[in-house]
Amino acid sequence: MSRHFWSRHSRLLSLFAVATIASSVLASAQVQSSPTDATLENPGTSPAAFVYVSSSPSSNTYQINAYAASTNGRLTVVPGSPFSTNAPGLASSSKYIFGTNGVEIDSFAIADDGAIAEVSSINAQQLNQGDCGGPFDMFVDRTGATLYDMDYIGNICANNPYQSFSVGGDNGDLSYIGATAAASPAFATSLGFLANNKYAYGSSCLFIVGPLIYGFERTDDNSLSELNTNPAMPAAPAGDYYCPGGAAAPDAANHLAFVVTPMNGSNQQPTGGPAQISVYTADGSGNLTTNSTYENMPAAVSGAYDFKASPAGKYLAVGGPKGLQLFHFNGANPLTRFTALLPTGEIDQLAWDSDDHLYAIGIPAGQLYVLAVTSTGVREAPGSPYSITNPQSITVVPR
């Protein structure tokens, strides 16, 4: 497997399906948090979260770097870390880390001190049609009882369905439930679950399909069934339209955020204007509506690679080639800018813990940043950034 395979593959999928959402971190930030904030200055003895970053220290060699995060965001290395693996792509529940190399999915049990040990493995590629492609962009439901993945070209070696696996509570064994009947090259990312854990959504902008926000419902056996929904895109300037990509859903609401790119309606190319952030609200049947228009959507990081909502739904972080930016999440109302672009360099993946710490990896620079976010501002946590050779993927397990 080549260097940065996981990141490059995910980005290629994004570029294929989305028509392109085309050093000190905080020295130039507009807002600084108060030094008297107890959560920043008085770390407790118990970890606030465990942070896991897969990396590739040498060609075709992978490992998982594990850290315990204190309540002020400072990281300490977990005993035994790094842990050997062949799986650069990560996801997690409260009990297990899941890793994939695009063929197998491995399960690792999490010990009380954050150490991990492999407990099971399943060949997910063999479960699809034709032994093509395989599992990418893994994600779990809100309870962690079911693991899902976007099965790249897993349907007749051409289209992408979503696979479902039940997670064994005692040993982490994965039992295959099935794949979605619906499959499309437009299904190109992980899905964002609403707080009700019933509906999940993604989006893309494949040329042959057009702008698409799609949704699925969890069925009685925890598999996914496609929703009959086709929500309208935000109103664009005359002659233009918007292309969406991905989905971000906070834990505590029925709202979703999508990064959208303005496109020229004549040549189907980006207009050159900034990406913007739209907000949708789901009703009890999973139907989405939006009040977003080109006039009220805030501009976002150009060429966004990843965006994540904080668990409580207060903030949205967006990372891209020139850094990251934070916004206030205002329910169904338009997001508002919290910070200017924080010049960290390229930010490829983001994750939050339950204490509003934001974790960001920049793959080319080999950096892991930890930001403490409060209502009064943003500051870099003690010890950040951390150097990691060829980081691939990140997942965070709140405690």
Helix H, strand E, coil C: the string for the chain is: CCCCHHHHHHHHHHHHHCCCCCCCCCCCCCCCCCCCCHHHHCCCCCCCEEEEEEEEEECCEEEEEEEEECCCCCEEECCCCCEEECCCEEEECCCEEEEECCCEEEEEEECCCCCEEEEEEEECHHHCCCCCCEEEEEEECCCCCEEEEEEECCECCCEECEEEEEECCCCCCEEEEEECCCCECCCCCCCEECCCCCEEEEEEEECCCEEEEEEEEECCCCCEEECCCCCCCCECCCCEEEEEEEEECCCCCCEEEEEEEEEECCCCCECCCCCEEEEEEECCCCCEEECCECCCCCECCCCCCEEEECCCCCEEEEEECCEEEEEECCCCCCCEECCCCECCCCCCEEEECCCCEEEEEECCCCEEEEEEEECCEEEECCCCCEECCCEEEEEEEEC
- The pLDDT of residue 24 is 38
Looking at residue 208, what is its pLDDT? Answer: 72
Which one, of 363, 359, 388, lies nearest residue 77 by Cα?
A: 388
CATH number at residue 369: 2.130.10.10
Integer Cα distance of 193 and 201 in angstroms: 7
2 confidence band (pLDDT: 50, 70, 90): very low
Per-residue pLDDT of 102-144, as tens digits, reads 999 999 999 999 999 999 999 999 999 888 999 999 999 999 9
| CA angle centred on 113, ends 108 and 119, rounded to 5° | 15
Question: Is the pLDDT at 339 greater than 90, yes or no?
Answer: yes
Which domain range does residue 307 map to? 5-398
Number of domains observed in the structure of the chain: 1
Q: Which residue has the higher pLDDT, 49 or 42?
A: 49
User: What's the rounded Cα separation, in Å, for the pair 347 and 326?
Assistant: 13
Written as one letter, the residue type at 327 is F
For residue 71, what is the enclosing H or E element? none
How many CB atoms are located within 10 Å of the residue 109 CB?
16
- What number is the average pLDDT over the span 270-290? 94
What's residue 5's pLDDT? 41
pLDDT in tens, 213-241: 999 999 999 999 999 988 999 999 999 99
Return the minimum-mean-pLDDT range out of 129-133, 223-227, 256-260, 316-320: 129-133
Residue 165's DSSP bridge partners are 147, 176
Residue 14 has pLDDT above 90, yes or no: no
pLDDT above 50 for 18: no
pLDDT at 127: 96
Arithmetic mean of pLDDT, 14-24: 37
pTM for the full predicted model: 0.89
- ∠ CA(390), CA(396), CA(397), 5° rounding? 145
Q: Average the pLDDT over 316-337 and give the result.
A: 94
The C-alpha atoms of residue 60 and residue 242 are separated, in whole angstroms, by 39
What letter represents residue 382's amino acid? Answer: P
| Cβ–Cβ < 8 Å for 97, 116 | yes
Number of Cβ within a 10 Å radius of residue 277: 26
Share of the chain above pLDDT 70, in %: 89
Say which range, 32-41, 154-163, 285-294, 345-354, has the weakest mean pLDDT. Answer: 32-41
Say which range, 34-38, 158-162, 267-271, 361-365, has the weakest mean pLDDT: 34-38
* Tens digit of each residue's pLDDT (9 = 90 or more) over 161-204: 999 999 997 788 999 999 999 999 999 999 999 999 999 999 99
- Distances 267 to 15, 19, 263, 293, 304 between C-alpha atoms, Å: 17, 12, 8, 21, 22
- Mean pLDDT over residues 245-256, rounded? 88
Residue 17 has pLDDT above 70, yes or no: no
**Please, are residues 317 and 326 in contact by the beta-carbon 8 Å criterion?**
yes
